[in-house]
């Protein structure tokens, strides 16, 4: 098959816990026909996640599965797997989903679960990473889309975007700068998958037919000159 002409929309299941702005970016990319995909179901572990409203507004089926009702992480994941399979999902998208996945989900969808993280992995894995980047004095941060594996924020990297960190930044201002780029790179990562262009080799993701960034596209902060 020609990698870039897969005619079939990719069937997505999106897992959320909160505001769902990344979900919205994916809905919008599909709406603009930039992304050939169909969101079959949005599942939240929290009934009050605003992303559920975004999904319903877009006419997407939603489900709330409260993790607290399950005796173990594995039991919760078994329910997720059942629902995602029933919805015929091909790729699972974690979009601000605040639960760690067990081997039950990982085995059910090997190399078919993506996540996004608001830092330049492998720097700053975990939580509250925008504040961590500021506190550390990093001059750049960014965001990373990766395939989920057993480790936390540890899987093969698909795409990253870099943003500068300013001396005046607060956690909120840096988070907003990063989030704007998350909304660009997540739909692109899904598009590359839909086109059959992602191949995982060990830690590396080979992106078939990818252009290389233009030469000289180097970011230096603070700049080398004052004007």
Catalytic residues: 117
**Interface with ligand GRF, residue 123, by CB under 6 A:** no
Within 13 Å, how many C-alpha atoms sit on residue 118's CB side? 25
**Residues written for the chain:** 227
- Site map 168..207 versus ligand GRF, x via CB under 6 A: -----------x--x-------------------------
**Interface with ligand GRF, residue 118, by CB under 6 A:** yes
Closest-approach residue to ligand GRF (CB) = 96
**Interface with ligand GRF, residue 46, by CB under 6 A:** no
**Interface with ligand GRF, residue 21, by CB under 6 A:** yes
Distance between CA atoms of residues 207 and 3, nearest Å = 11
What are the phi and psi torsion angles at 107 (to 5°)? -75, -30
What are the phi and psi torsion angles at 202 (to 5°)? 60, -125
Q: Which is nearer to ligand GRF, 19 or 160 (CB)?
A: 19
Q: Which is nearer to ligand GRF, 89 or 93 (CB)?
A: 93
The arrangement of strands across the sheet holding 140-147 comes to: 62-64, 37-44, 10-16, 91-94, 113-117, 140-147, 157-164, 204-207, 198-201
Site for ligand GRF, rule CB under 6 A: 18-22, 51, 95-96, 116-118, 179, 182
């Amino acid at each position: 098959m020609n990698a870039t002409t897969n005619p079939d929309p990719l069937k997505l299941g999106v897992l959320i816990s909160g505001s769902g702005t990344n979900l919205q970016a994916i809905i919008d990319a599909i709406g603009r026909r930039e992304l050939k995909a169909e969101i079959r179901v949005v599942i939240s572990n929290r009934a009050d996640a605003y992303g559920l409203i975004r999904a319903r507004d877009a006419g997407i089926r939603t489900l709330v599965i409260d993790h607290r009702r399950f005796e173990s992480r594995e039991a919760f994941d078994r329910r997720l797997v059942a629902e995602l399979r029933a919805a015929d999902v091909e790729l699972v998208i974690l979009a601000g989903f605040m639960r760690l996945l067990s081997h039950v989900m990982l085995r059910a969808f090997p190399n078919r679960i993506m996540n996004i993280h608001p830092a330049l992995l492998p720097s700053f894995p975990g939580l509250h990473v925008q504040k961590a980047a500021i506190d550390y004095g990093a001059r750049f941060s960014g965001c990373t889309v990766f395939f989920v594996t057993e480790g936390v924020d540890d899987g093969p990297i698909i795409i990253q975007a870099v943003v500068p960190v300013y001396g005046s930044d607060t956690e909120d201002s840096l988070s907003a700068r990063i989030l704007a780029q998350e909304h660009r790179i997540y739909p692109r990562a899904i598009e590359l998958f839909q086109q059959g262009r992602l191949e995982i080799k060990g830690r590396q993701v080979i992106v078939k037919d990818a252009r290389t960034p233009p030469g000289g596209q180097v970011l230096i902060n603070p700049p080398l000159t004052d004007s």
